[in-house]
Structure 1
Amino acid sequence: MNRSKTHHPWLYLILSVCIITPFANDTYVPSLVDMAHVFKTNNISLVMTVFMVGLGASQLFYGPLSDRFGRKPVLLFGLLIFMVASVVIVFADSFAMLLWGRFFQAVGTCSTIVSAMAIARDIYPADKIVKIISMIMAIIGFCAVIAPFWGSFLQSLLGWQGPFIFLLVLGIGYFVIITFMFKESQKSRNYHALKPVQLYGNYRLLLRVNAYCAYIITSACSYGALFAYAAASSIIIVGQFHYSVIAYGALFSINSVAIVLMSILAPKLNKYLSIDRLVLIGALLLSTGSAITLIVNLVLNASIWSLVLPMWVATLGVAMIRPTASSGAMSTAPVEISGSAAALFNFMSFIGGALSTFVIACLQVNPVNFSLFILLLGMMACLVIIYTFGFKLSADKELQQ
């Protein structure tokens, strides 16, 4: 595409299709306690776990499919799956049916993430990717801010099905937009992308790039922290501190503001600091925030503010890592396998989220146990970056390049 097309406002609308994922992640969170009562289960956070598993596993297929058949048909196929799964969830009459619906809802929405990253890589040069992905993350972060509020309203109006009815309508809307307004961005097809030898070769090539591996592991830690907080906060704030669903939506959104803020700041900071340094700073913020949460709750009586306020610092770290790690990973990947690179990156990220929400489901959740787990994730992210880059952390963009 030429320069004029890359700045066409319709392109930004197409890239915004990835907002389906944060709405699918966060809109129903205020309904978790109600869903636990309706389906008579103590493991309601498994609806997050299966969603993360679906997101992660399907990444590996959507990337090669996108390289082989193009971004548009794969995106439409995923949206169709997402809509059907949303209908299944709305009419679910058992916990098993709910979990299956959530799994295939994730399989469908996964296409939006891979396609958005691949479309950005198709169109924009490497030095612009941080800005574009940060813009996408800012939009996602804004949606994460309003999703709990919106979900709380839908919960009070329509019950636990309300958020999922909204997701169905959102999927239909984007299906129409992509069908009529998006022109394929991929310049050439990779007709060997689906061959087992090619798939193995692509992922093997990516996994031999140390910097790429460091970025995907760090991203997995950040996603693990983010979704662990989403799963645990509802249990703690609504179930243990007895705040209302509406109040929970407001409190959860305080942390989502950090995602918007850092998504705006990240590209500005990238003018002065390299990607590897920004990722390390994010990992340090994540570790610091979770350490403060742990210490405060050990010394003082647990309260809403001893959880929400220090976790805001940790969320700043997550928000710093998400756009910078994805930009670093994509910029180190060969452009001809950008779909596979996006797929593997997101696979690792969401598997990190799946494992973390599974741990939360198995834990006797309280502020101390939760913050200790998040601290371990933050420390792991720090160690991976330091081990990979060591003293070669770039002081500025010129050294990075």
Structure 2
Amino acid sequence: MHARAVAPRAASPACPYHSTDGYPMKLSSKNTVGLALILGSVTALTPLAIDMYLPAFGLIAEHFGAGQSDAELSLTVFFIGLALGQLMYGPLADRFGRKPPLVIGLALASAATFTCALVPTISDFILLRFLQALGICAGAVISRAIVRDMFEPVEVARFFSLLMLVMGVAPILAPILGAQVALAFGWQAIFYFISGFGFLALLAITLLLEETHQPNPGVQLLRALSTYRDILRNRTFTGYALAGGAALAGMFGYITSAKFVLVDHFGVSPEHFGFFFGANAAGFIVMSQVNRWLVQRYSFHQILRVALPVVLLSALGLLTATLTEAPLPVFIIPLFTFIAVLGVVAPNTMAGALADEGHRAGAASALAGSLQFSLSFVSSGIIGITEATSPLLMCLVMTACAALSLLCFWSSARQTQQIQAQ
């Protein structure tokens, strides 16, 4: 299945990042790295807004005179904003083009992030985190739609892997940088930094990126729910989207628990917390680059048929290590494997979900992202509202998410094969 062709345009030296021949681009394009840097920076705002303030949970709670659970609630509410906001931006990007809603979203994100550092109460902080998420999610949704506009389905998976190389630097550096910034300048400086980063991304989008999808007056915003319903009827989309969403929900269950598990339970110092957290993110990046090689030789289905069972086995290993009270080095091995293999799972499930939806890539990208963060809201919420005294709850959530991911993939694969056989 071929992507919808981008309308032919003459190349513009000032705004070089678009398909200039009217057809989906190949990854050999000289502009690919530049495009990945721009879209990767925009997409990296999400992990920055999540990972950079994790080491400052205690400082934030102390500043507002709130409990640790209140600080964790700000992360759960952030996931709600991501899930709801993506459903809003998808139809807007299909109706008005990719750039206008992306620019508006980044402007909202920068303003809300800056204001997070100025509010007087934890309730105001949590509300601003919700608004921050509503703006930031435009980057993830519309970046995926732009990629789908410009590349063939197989090339999409390769480009997503390249994109993860750029955006994957964020979860490696964010907790380390966040800890040092908070200790040196206070937790508020974390949000000033993210706001500035968002403003620079906004400038890059405005000045360097051309429109890849012409406005389509035929897209009726009031029929968005009907469009989402039609997309959900596509079993291929649903299977890939739920499989990827459930797997990533397991990762966000870990992210929500990371400080408690590593610092409070295993005794890792706050200064070293970022290095442990970043090592897992580095594994994710390395495997996402291995995936660029894999997709040239195997199909989405073949890759996921191996990768998803490995994710489940890693979760079971993590659960076993917890039940046997294994030391930190033994605990880290299956945890690292779980996160690293998601570097293969994430690009293939997203590329598979969008493969048949080129004509409404904005809505499909939004729905896939919303499903992902809805599941992440559930996984992080379960952990956030429970006063856990060991890593057991985290391991149970990660195992359940891995099992659900594999189940959704297998169920969708069987249904698709039955349809093709008819």
Q: Tell me if structure 1 keeps the 8 A contact 2:235–2:416.
A: no
Query: How far apart, CA to CA, are the structure 1 residues paired with 2:36 and 2:347?
Result: 17
Q: Indicate the residue corresponding to 2:346 in structure 1.
A: 322
Pairing 1:2–2:20 present: yes
Query: How far apart, CA to CA, are the structure 1 residues paired with 2:407 and 2:154?
Result: 27
Aligned-pair Cα RMSD in Å = 2.0
Query: How far apart, CA to CA, are the structure 2 residues paired with 1:140 and 1:10?
Result: 13
1:166-315 paired onto structure 2 within 5 Å: 166-186=193-213, 188-197=214-223, 199-301=224-326, 303-315=327-339
1:302-344 per-residue CA deviation (whole Å, 9 max, x = no partner) reads x4334332211111232221111001011121x2211001000
Aligned length: 390
Q: Indicate the residue corresponding to 1:81 in structure 2.
A: 108
Q: TM-score scaled to structure 1, two decimals? A: 0.92
Query: How far apart, CA to CA, are the structure 2 residues paired with 1:194 and 1:103?
Result: 27
Query: How far apart, CA to CA, are the structure 1 residues paired with 2:328 and 2:62?
Result: 23
State which drifts further: 128-137 or 31-40: 31-40
Pairing 1:41–2:63 present: no
Change (3 A) 1:290 1:10: closer
C-alpha displacement at 1:10, in angstroms? 4.0
C-alpha displacement at 1:363, in angstroms? 2.3
Match of 2:400 among 372, 376, 385: 376
Q: Indicate the residue corresponding to 2:391 in structure 1.
A: 367
Q: Look up the equivalent residue of 2:157 and give its one-letter code.
A: V
Q: Look up the equivalent residue of 1:340 and give its one-letter code.
A: A
Q: Tell me if structure 2 keeps the 8 A contact 1:10–1:181.
A: no
Q: Look up the equivalent residue of 1:253 and give its one-letter code.
A: G
Q: What SS is found at the alignment partner of 1:258?
A: helix
Unaligned runs of 5+ in 1: 394-398
1:86-110 per-residue CA deviation (whole Å, 9 max, x = no partner) reads 1221112211111111111111111
Pairing 1:332–2:356 present: yes
Q: Look up the equivalent residue of 2:113 and give its one-letter code.
A: S
Q: Tell me if structure 2 keeps the 8 A contact 1:138–1:259.
A: no
Q: What SS is found at the alignment partner of 1:45?
A: helix
Query: How far apart, CA to CA, are the structure 1 residues paired with 2:400 and 2:35?
Result: 39
C-alpha displacement at 1:286, in angstroms? 1.8
Q: What SS is found at the alignment partner of 1:332?
A: coil
Change (3 A) 1:295 1:185: same
Q: Look up the equivalent residue of 2:356 and give its one-letter code.
A: T
Query: How far apart, CA to CA, are the structure 2 residues paired with 1:288 and 1:38?
Result: 41
Q: Flag as ranges the 4+ runs of structure 1 deviating above 4 A.
A: 3-6
Query: How far apart, CA to CA, are the structure 2 residues paired with 1:208 and 1:74?
Result: 27
1:386-397 paired onto structure 2 within 5 Å: 386-390=410-414
Q: Look up the equivalent residue of 1:159 and give its one-letter code.
A: G
Query: How far apart, CA to CA, are the structure 1 residues paired with 2:320 and 2:55?
Result: 27
Q: Tell me if structure 2 keeps the 8 A contact 1:33–1:238.
A: no
State which drifts further: 2-11 or 280-289: 2-11
Q: Look up the equivalent residue of 1:243 and give its one-letter code.
A: V
Q: Percent identity?
A: 25
Q: What SS is found at the alignment partner of 2:44?
A: helix
Query: How far apart, CA to CA, are the structure 2 residues paired with 1:94 and 1:308?
Result: 37
Change (3 A) 1:392 1:217: closer
Query: How far apart, CA to CA, are the structure 2 residues paired with 1:322 and 1:306?
Result: 25
